[in-house]
Amino acid sequence: MFYLEVCSLYNMQEVFSKEIHASVAMENRIRQLFSYVDVTGRNISDYMEILRAEGKLPCEDKRAGKEALDRLCELLQYDPEDIRKDNLSGSVPALSGNVYKENTGEKKDHGLHLYIEEAVRDNENVKSIAEKLKTNEITYIKHYKDILAKGFSADNRKAAAKSIVLADKTGRLMYEGAPVCQDFGNRHFYYTSCVMNCLYDCEYCYLKGMYPSGIPVIFINLDDIFRETETLLENFPVYLCVSYDTDLMALEDITGYVRRWCEFTKSHRNLTIEIRTKCARTDLWKDMDWCDRVIFAYTLSPEEIINRYEKGTPHLEQRIRAIAVGMESYSSAVNTEGKTYPFRLCFDPMIYVKDWQEMYHNMWESIRRSIDLDHIRDYSVGSFRISDSYLKNMRVRFSETALVQYPYDVVNGYYQYPEKIAEEMESCMERLVSESVPGAKVFRWK
Ligand code: SF4
């Protein structure tokens, strides 16, 4: 016991490996679990003690070793407090340790360097965006992918926070909705990417695993995307998410794309779009050309989650105010009798942390106090999930991030919380909504 306590994490990893007769595949899993222990600051000795108390260590053979490994994974998936409450471990020795490392809430500096593709340097949209950015630091490049290829090293991440690329989007412009995204009951569900990457810096953002670097790339040929949307509309009504790979509202001063999408949607009656955002601006509401088919979907998280995992994004109260002001503007501009307003509240992704029940409950109370919930169009509820390839990239690029190193379950190629945790979190949120707003349309990711 004393020996285990004084061992370094690395030594303990080796000891554990030997004790469970680990194969090469098991070694990989052990490495992943110990990385998670390392970044969360948990005390691995506590977990070894549990395994010993349960008679799972040491192991007679590889089969027993696999059971011990599965059990360690299960224990690490739960917050130590929840293990105590649910008695998941039977006779659990007291767990100690500092569970989560806080993020620093570091803000971005917006002194920008602009990269422009040579082929579009005379494009009017490029000129207008460059003018708004008021920077003398302009570099002309051959292709935006050359800049994106710089990667996610610490230096490149700093540079990415001060850079924007203007480029022409070629090839495919519209994509069918991914299985991890909610379709809200729409049959022809698509998304498009008129901007890649985001000014915000959420730790869990799949963009960090999807693209080779975090530099925002604004595609200046929005008209081509409009044309491709029209082609789809010739065949069927389309539900289109236009702000998945970025936060378009946060970029509105630079691009004006929110207004352009609103105008375009208004003039195409079979089109419904969703603009997903965490942005708290209210200035856009003043002269908004409202359309019921332009849905403003706000991602809301408890303030503690925002501080810890959603760097650079507005506080919960600011987001709530933006929704409340927007709904007020909508109701004064439009005949709203008997109608819901085009506002969606998204509790997605819900993040599993210690005291999550209390945090999400407090968040809901703040929302209830300030937003006219009877007029909210619908709600989205989902716990964090991500495709395996993106998470694998993120684990290499952001090895120090607890949320990324968490031992998720893999189901059909997607990493997600264990079913018990996901179900508990999502049904808790759904219940909070349904109890306050009977008949509310709540969509849960299945
Ligand atoms: S706001 Fe959305 S797109 Fe932007 S970093 Fe956060 S999760 Fe990613």
Mutate which of 197, 202, 244 for ligand 1 pocket (most atoms within 8 A of beta carbon): 202
Domains of the chain, by residue range, sit at 2-86, 113-444
* Ligand 1 touching residue 276 (CB < 6 A): no
Whether domain 113-444 has CATH 3.40.50.1360: the reply is: no
Most distant pair of Cα atoms in the chain: their distance: 73
Ligand 1 center–CA 238 separation, angstroms: 24
247 in contact with ligand 1, CB cutoff 6 A: yes
Long-range contacts of 323-331 (CB under 8 A, 24+ apart): 323/296, 323/298, 323/371, 324/370, 324/371, 324/372, 325/282, 325/285, 326/282, 326/285, 326/288, 326/296, 327/371, 327/372, 327/375, 329/285, 329/286, 329/288, 330/285, 330/288, 330/290, 331/375
pLDDT at 84: 60
Per-residue pLDDT at 5: 43
Pairing of strands 310-311, 201-202: antiparallel
CA distance linking residue 143 with residue 118, whole number of Å = 8
Q: Does any ligand 1 atom lie closer than 6 A to the CB of residue 200?
A: yes
Q: What was the pLDDT predicted at 151? A: 78
Cis peptide before 349 (omega within 30 of 0): yes
* Count helices and strands in the chain by DSSP H and E runs: 20, 18
| Cβ proximity of 431 and 379 under 8 Å | no
Q: Cα torsion at 348, 353, 355, 357 (round to 10°)?
A: 20
Index of the ligand 1 atom closest to the CA of residue 244 = 3
pLDDT in tens, 277-331: 999 999 999 989 999 999 999 999 999 999 999 999 999 999 999 999 999 999 9
In short, whether 207's Cβ falls inside 6 Å of ligand 1 is: yes
So what's the pLDDT on residue 35?
Answer: 85
Give pLDDT, residue 7.
Answer: 56
Query: Nearest residue CA, atom 8 of ligand 1?
Result: 205
Separation CA 378–CA 285 (nearest Å):
20
**Is any atom of ligand 1 closer than 6 Å to the C-beta of 246?**
yes
Task: List the residue whose alpha carbon is closest to atom 7 of ligand 1.
Answer: 205
How far does residue 126's CA lie from ligand 1's centre (Å)?
24
pLDDT under 50: residue ranges of the chain: 1-6, 87-110
Predicted pLDDT of residue 111: 64
Residue closest via CA to ligand 1's atom 3 equals 246
Three-state DSSP at 408 gives coil
